[in-house]
Amino acid sequence: MSAADSGPPVSLAEMKVRDGDVIARGVFAQLDYLGPVHVPASYAPINPAFSKAVEEWRKGAHLADEHVGEFAAWLERTKARSKAISENERRLNTTTWAQDRLRNEGDYFERFERFHLDAWGVDQWSDDPAEHSEQLKRCARRGMPSGQRRDVRHG
């Protein structure tokens, strides 16, 4: 088979558009798995001495041995919260990118809108990039309440 038999040459720009659309459709196919994850509440220390010790630790001070246990619990809770927020941001960035990418492709856009409303509680994303970013961060931090599952099926 010669190069002439393989069809007309495809430009790099055309390949990027086609591949991006394929990826966006793949995101659409996975919407049932891209709703928010639970974001654990912030750790609220009860012990005022521990709160003060953490503030001093953030400034570079050594943490006293008496606070190590509570510090470990605080650190794990903080890491879990940060990980959940990051995952929610990733999911929102992915789905909003795919929604925009498929804006003019059939009813994909409307189905993404419905997904964002049902799963994330967003009825419209701002067109202003800074405000859109703030909306996304607020949604990611809110996540899904513990034990709650929203039906995010599209169709």
Contact call for residues 130 and 97 (beta carbons, < 8 A):
no
Q: For residue 34, is pLDDT > 90? A: yes
Is residue 38 helix, strand or coil?
strand
The token pair that represents 142 in the structure block: 């809110």
The token pair that represents 75 in the structure block: 């650190």
What is residue 144's DSSP assignment? B
For residue 55, how far is the Cα from the chain centroid?
A: 29
Mean pLDDT of all residues belonging to the chain: 83
* Residue 45 pLDDT grade (very low, low, confident, very high; cuts 50, 70, 90): confident
* Residue 81 pLDDT grade (very low, low, confident, very high; cuts 50, 70, 90): very high
Mean pLDDT of 81-91: 95
Mean pLDDT of 1-16: 62
How far, in Å, CA of 89 to CA of 93, rounded?
A: 6
Instruction: Give the ranges where the chain is alpha helix by DSSP (H).
Output: 12-29, 48-58, 68-101, 108-115, 129-142
Residue count (the chain) = 155
Instruction: Give the ranges where 30-67 is alpha helix by DSSP (H).
Output: 48-58
Stretch among 28-37, 38-47, 133-142 having the lowest mean pLDDT: 38-47
How far, in Å, CA of 141 to CA of 137, rounded?
A: 6
Q: According to the model, what pLDDT value does residue 114 have?
A: 92
Q: According to the model, what pLDDT value does residue 47 have?
A: 82
Q: Is the pTM of this model over 0.85?
A: no
Q: According to the model, what pLDDT value does residue 154 have?
A: 34
- Phi first, then psi, for residue 150 (nearest 5°) are -90, 140
- Phi first, then psi, for residue 126 (nearest 5°) are -70, 145
